[in-house]
Structure 1
Amino acid sequence: MFQSALRKNVVAPLARGFSTATNGGKNNTPLIIAGALAVAAGSYFIYNSEAGVYAESKDESDAKPRPVAFTKSEFTNLTLSKVETYNHNTNQYTFKFDDPNAICGGPITHLLMVKATENGLIVDEKGNDVARPYTPISRPDLAGEVVLLVKKYDTGKISPHLASLKPGDKAGFKGTFPKFKYVPGALDHGICVAGGSGITPHYQLIDHALSLKDDKTKWTLFYSNVTEDDILLRKEWDALAKAHPDRLKVVYVLDKPPAGWTGPTGYISQQLLKDNSPAGSEAGEAVKVFVCGPPGQVAAIAGPKDGMKQGPVGGVLKELGFSEGQVFKF
């Protein structure tokens, strides 16, 4: 009975998400998940929305505040220490913190706002600084640096700018901004649907969940791309699936597959979801679907977002019988 109440009341989206702008205000209200949740999940998580991650531990004596590299009230300039080419249109960027002991902080499934500081600011038609949201692929408690995986869009504002940076250059960061509050053990099954660079929040979520020994949640990832070369974090996903065969299944979907490709092709369809994961009303309240990708894909799979709001469930997931409480759109 307690587990049922836990699933209903604590697995929920935070009140607000962020796309390209923030409210700039501070929120110092601590979110403390402990006590009864520690019994249910086998661990505790202490988090303060301004100060970031304090600890994730089984022993309360280990909970020691750690310095956080930035806040969400103002931008902090970080130095680019390394750029690695990932594929034909994506780079991996490592930005170092001034304090080597500092961490990114924030909960799992958070994002950072990033803006230009080198070679002139990038502004919109009203003269306001342009910033874009990115989900780190590094863990929140990684000391000394934060790692972003960013696909360059020629028509974009910030991704081409990041692609022009060299080690030693700087970019402005503000955050962290929570997206979904994940509680270990509250779900039986998580279904992730991703397209292109929309894979990053799914990686942050699943990588974290699989690292928790007492979290038994099972995961299925459906990841669509145009070509095989477009698949991001493939080595990482394959390694996670190999290490956790009973908890993670990865389904790659290609629009233009190479010769000999044996996986699904085309788009992520209703039948593909139904054949490879728990479906809709039959799945129960402890199954949740997470969606992130190009707006067209999100709309087709789950219905369009309503600005910063989730919007009603539509598309394939509605046809499968998923309710609004079972779907979260990053």
Structure 2
Amino acid sequence: MDFLQTPENQLFLGVAVAIVAIGIGALYLYSSKKPKGCLDPENFREFKLVKRHQLSHNVAKFTFELPTPTSVLGLPIGQHISCRGKDSQSEEVIKPYTPTTLDSDVGYFELVIKMYPQGRMSHHFREMRVGDYLAVKGPKGRFKYQIGEVRAFGMLAGGSGITPMFQVARAILENPKDRTKVHLIYANVTYEDILLKDELNGLAAKYPDQFKVYYVLNQPPDVWDGGVGFVTKEMIETHCPAPAHDIKILRCGPPPMNKAMAGHLDALGYSPEMQFQF
């Protein structure tokens, strides 16, 4: 311990301890800092398609690579991106899509796309092959979510309108600090049209006290225990939380469905503050 007896050595030791402390603090701040997202709200950036998985005759899951294996897209919960492509006439088209992945999915993001015969952006995705690049800009959208903002969400989705609902539900359910309940009504024409069915059923099985899903089909199979026809006021009353200051109903689907759901919600007593349309 003679080394510590001189003032010079004590000063040297003190400086060394301070440097180590600063280094540890800097390392902690660096490691705990949220990674910067890859999106640019003003300019399109290109991301490489690394996998394409056909889910049905007109639905595919597209996986795009981010710059590094630890990169995140940087998309807030419930917001979307703008994708740019070319239609069958080689004219530019831009359309919004919501990834089904979250920032907890590092190094990549995924889009589940339903490709319609006459859809302009559908043509672009139909033509995309592994190795091609997609131009993306964002984030976009008015939806902002904070834990504890509401006690429960009701969700009314139709067709590909499930993607923002799935993103929000996943973010809530996979956060152990978030106890918000989620009640989803998901409408389609046929059983084969149900997007993300396995993933939704998986969430319902894993979080039975927090997530409920009710499927509605316009043309159901012979054996079917879900709803039939269009989503009705009675279905909303049965499967969504009742109007209250601490609930919100989200809706996303084709324009006729959105209009019909707005009418149902108004008639059931949901105020404008309790409703949000993607």
**In which range does the TM-score fall when normalised by the shorter chain?**
0.7 to 0.9
Change (3 A) 1:231 1:238: same
Which amino acid counterpart does residue 273 of structure 2 have in structure 1? G
Aligned partner of 1:184 in structure 2 is: 147
In structure 1, how many angstroms separate the alpha carbons of the residues matched to 2:169 and 2:241?
17
Residue among 278, 283, 292 paired with 2:252: 292
2:66 is equivalent to residue 97 of structure 1? yes
Matched, 1:301 2:261: yes
* Rounded Cα–Cα distance in structure 1 between residues aligned with 2:71 and 2:30: 20
Amino acid at match of 1:102: S
* Counterpart in the other structure of 2:115: 152
Q: 1:115 aligns with which of 84, 91, 97?
A: 84
Letter in 2 for 1:154: P
CA distances 1:282-318 after superposition (whole Å, capped 9, x unpaired) = x31101000000000000001xxxxxxxxxxxx1000
Shift of 1:260: 1.1
Per the alignment, residue 72 of structure 1 pairs with 41
Q: Which residue of 2 aligns with 1:84?
A: 53
Partner of 1:248: 211
Output aligned runs, 1:122-133, within 5 Å.
122-123=90-91, 129-133=92-96
What SS is found at the alignment partner of 2:227? Answer: coil
Matched ranges for 1:216-227 at <5 A: 216-227=179-190
**Structure 1 portions without partners, runs of 5+:** 1-58, 124-128, 303-314
Structure 2 match to 1:328: 276
- The verdict on how the C-alpha distance between 1:98 and 1:134 changes in structure 2, with shifts beyond 3 A counting, is same
CA distance in 2, matches of 1:81, 1:187: 38
Question: Following superposition, which runs of at least 4 residues in structure 1 exceed 6 angstroms of deviation?
Answer: none
Give the aligned residue type for 2:64: F
Q: 1:215 aligns with which of 178, 182, 185?
A: 178
Structure-2 change in CA distance of 1:148 and 1:121 (3 Å): farther
Give 1:261's aligned residue.
224
What is the alpha-carbon distance in structure 2 between the residues aligned to residue 121 and residue 175 of structure 1? Answer: 26
TM normalised by structure 1 equals 0.72
Bigger helix fraction: 2
Rg comparison, structure with higher value: 2
Deviation at 1:63, TM superposition (A): 3.1
Local SS of the residue matching 1:241: helix
| Structure 1 residues 208 and 319: CA distance shift in structure 2, 3 A | same
Q: How far apart are 1:67 and its partner, in Å?
A: 3.7
Change (3 A) 1:86 1:274: same
Q: Secondary structure at the match of 1:181?
A: coil
What amino acid is aligned across from residue 278 of structure 1 in structure 2?
P
**2:278 matches 1:318:** no
Q: Compute the displacement of 1:141 (Å).
A: 3.7
Match of 1:55 in 2: none
Counterparts of residues 16-35 of structure 1 (less than 5 Å):
none
* Residue identity opposite 1:301 in structure 2: M
1:48-77 Cα offsets, whole Å, 9 max, x none, are xxxxxxxxxxx9885314242231111111
TM-score, length basis structure 2: 0.85
Indicate the residue corresponding to 1:277 in structure 2. Answer: 240
Task: List alignment gaps of at least 5 residues for structure 2.
Answer: 1-27
Q: Is the 8 A contact 1:108 1:178 kept in 2?
A: no
Secondary structure class of the residue paired with 1:91: strand
3-state DSSP of counterpart to 1:223: strand
Range 230-239 or range 134-143, more displaced = 134-143
